[in-house]
């Protein structure tokens, strides 16, 4: 039985990675179809751009609320059930949003329902993948994250292509069908990590170590959540306002959009490189250095004025911020018991979602108040240093939970 389990781990774990990358790509791509459809929706319905965009803010809030709940549920019933439920809810949310006849209904259906459904994908997936890997864990998590990063290169172009021939309601219905056709079969491939499956079969409901309540009240968890929040608050504002900032510097709109695209492409490389570095030098050490690099690089935007300098900063910034995020799941697995991974990663995802929702709003307020984005990047630098110091503090904490996790 032991040899069979070992063989299963060695071969099937990469199937989990592939399925996870595919699930993440389609789910995140469906959520981010809204920016592509923003203008067509406004022209067809007469709804305000601000009102339609608010659906995305609501979606981030729903992701924050739902992440820990879905993660905790996945600890109890397994990731497959949660992923199937999330896929069905995402399909229903997109289809119902396409039928919305009022702005409020659209905001609730696309924002609350689709956002809540997307939350069911990330935390359970990351928790599952970290449980399948004892070696090359950072690389595996980074590959799943890279699959999610493919969304702007796959699902967004699909939405843009569809909207040229169909109205936005039909496009959402087609995307809903794509979600069902791809995500449901992929979710069926996901299985509990063998260690948890064996414990469940043996009736071992509680492994040694802290309870979930003790873990989420512990200093390591709280600092990890704060670090995740500050990290996303650092890069969310600059990401969202990159195009607008470049335009204010005299860069043509299409060229400014290419700066944003370069950030995304560089992020693909960052995920893979930081995953390899995490396996080689340790995820915690790699995270600390990466957070410091992110803080320093974001400050480079203050000096960017020409297209070439924007490209240089965007490449470095995309490389660092995208490479940072998968490491949180690895560190969670190294410091907390496997049986509570969904809850722990759900907590960090909740904090990340709040941080992502904060940046765009603060950036807009800063620009409206000062007619400049300089203080946005200075503030992002300060939060980046804060996340670096939090991660450094985390490394210096007593490691009782880490020993229990091992």
Question: Mean pLDDT across the stretch 113-130?
Answer: 90
More confident residue, 337 or 101: 101
Dihedral of the CA atoms 261, 264, 266, 267 (nearest 10)?
A: 170
Q: Where are the domains of the chain?
A: 2-192, 212-405
| pLDDT tens per residue, range 350-381 | 888 888 878 777 887 888 888 888 999 999 99
Class of CATH domain 2-192: mainly alpha
Tokens of residue 283, six digits: 């995820």
pLDDT bucket at 339, cuts 50 / 70 / 90: confident
H helices, E strands: number in the chain: 19, 0
Q: Measuring CA to CA, which residue among 52, 47, 55, 66 is closest to residue 31?
A: 55
Backbone angles phi and psi of 397, in degrees to 5: -75, 155
Token pair 């290419």: residue: 258
Cα dihedral 170, 171, 175, 176 sign? negative
Phi-psi sector, 251: left (phi>0), alpha (psi -120 to 50), beta: beta
Yes or no: say if 237 and 363 are a contact pair by the CB < 8 Å rule: yes
**Gap between the Cα atoms of 260 and 274, Å rounded:** 21
The two tokens of residue 306 are: 């020409």
- Looking at residue 175, its pLDDT comes to 96
- Which residue has better confidence, 37 or 313? 313
Instruction: Look at residues 383, 81, 336 and name the one whose alpha carbon lies nearest to residue 218.
Output: 336
Helix crossing, 326-335 with 307-324: angle to 10°? 20
Mean pLDDT score of the chain: 85
DSSP string, 155-188: HHHHHHHHHTTS-HHHHHHHHHHHHHHHHHHHHH
Q: For residues 355 and 368, give the distance between their C-alpha atoms in angstroms, rounded to a whole number.
A: 20
Best CATH choice for the domain 212-405 from the list 3.40.50.970, 3.40.605.10, 1.20.1250.20, 1.10.3720.10 = 1.20.1250.20
Are domains 2-192 and 212-405 of this chain identical in fold?
yes
- Report pTM: 0.77
Query: What own/partner pairs with CB < 8 Å and gap ≥ 24 does 91-94 have?
Result: 91/176, 91/177, 91/179, 91/180, 91/183, 92/176, 93/117, 94/30, 94/172, 94/173, 94/175, 94/176, 94/179
Give the range among 29-43, 181-195, 286-300, 392-406 with minimum mean pLDDT. 392-406
Of the pLDDT bands very low, low, confident and very high (cuts 50, 70, 90), residue 402 is very low
pLDDT above 70 coverage of the chain, percent: 91
Please answer whether residues 70 and 83 qualify as being in contact, where contact means their C-beta atoms are separated by less than 8 angstroms: no
pLDDT tens digits for 199-254?
555 544 455 567 778 888 888 889 999 999 999 999 888 887 887 788 888 888 77
**Separation in Å, CA 278 to CA 282, 373, 388, 389:** 5, 33, 16, 19
Q: In this predicted model, which residue has the larger pLDDT, 79 or 357?
A: 79
């Amino acid at each position: 039985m032991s040899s069979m389990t070992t063989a299963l781990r060695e071969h099937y774990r990469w199937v989990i990675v592939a399925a996870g990358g595919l699930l993440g790509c389609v789910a995140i791509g469906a959520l981010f179809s809204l920016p592509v459809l923003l203008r067509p929706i406004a022209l067809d319905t007469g709804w305000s751009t601000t009102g339609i965009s608010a659906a995305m803010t609501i979606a981030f809030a729903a992701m924050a609320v739902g992440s820990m709940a879905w993660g905790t549920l996945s600890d109890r019933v397994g990731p497959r059930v949660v992923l199937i439920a999330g896929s069905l809810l995402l399909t229903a949310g997109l289809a119902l949003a396409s039928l919305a006849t009022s702005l409020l209904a659209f905001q609730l259906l696309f924002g609350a329902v689709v956002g809540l459904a997307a939350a069911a994908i990330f935390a359970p997936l990351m928790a599952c993948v970290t449980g399948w890997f004892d070696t090359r864990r950072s690389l595996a998590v980074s590959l799943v994250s890279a699959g999610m990063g493919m969304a702007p290169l796959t699902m967004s172009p699909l939405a843009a292509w569809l909207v040229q021939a169909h109205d936005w309601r039909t496009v959402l219905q087609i995307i809903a069908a794509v979600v069902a056709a791809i995500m449901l079969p992929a979710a069926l491939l996901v299985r509990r990590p063998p260690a948890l499956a064996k414990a469940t079969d043996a009736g071992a409901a509680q492994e040694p170590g802290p309870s979930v309540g003790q873990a989420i009240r512990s200093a390591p968890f709280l600092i990890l959540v704060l670090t995740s929040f500050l990290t996303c608050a650092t890069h969310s504002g600059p990401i969202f306002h990159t195009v607008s900032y470049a335009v204010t510097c005299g860069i043509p709109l299409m060229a400014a959009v290419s700066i944003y695209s370069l950030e995304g492409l560089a992020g693909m490389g960052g995920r893979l490189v930081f995953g390899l570095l995490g396996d080689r030098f340790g995820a915690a050490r790699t995270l600390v250095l990466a957070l410091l690099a992110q803080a320093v690089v974001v400050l480079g935007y203050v000096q960017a004025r020409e297209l070439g300098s924007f490209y240089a900063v965007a490449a470095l910034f995309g490389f660092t911020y995208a490479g940072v995020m998968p490491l949180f799941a690895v560190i969670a697995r190294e410091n907390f018991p496997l049986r509570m991974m969904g809850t722990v990663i759900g907590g960090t995802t909740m904090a990340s979602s709040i941080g992502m929702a904060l940046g765009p709003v603060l950036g807009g307020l800063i620009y409206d108040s000062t007619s400049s984005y300089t203080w946005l990047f200075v503030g992002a630098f300060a939060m980046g240093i804060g996340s670096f110091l939090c991660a450094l503090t985390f490394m210096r904490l007593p490691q009782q939970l880490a020993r229990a996790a091992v």
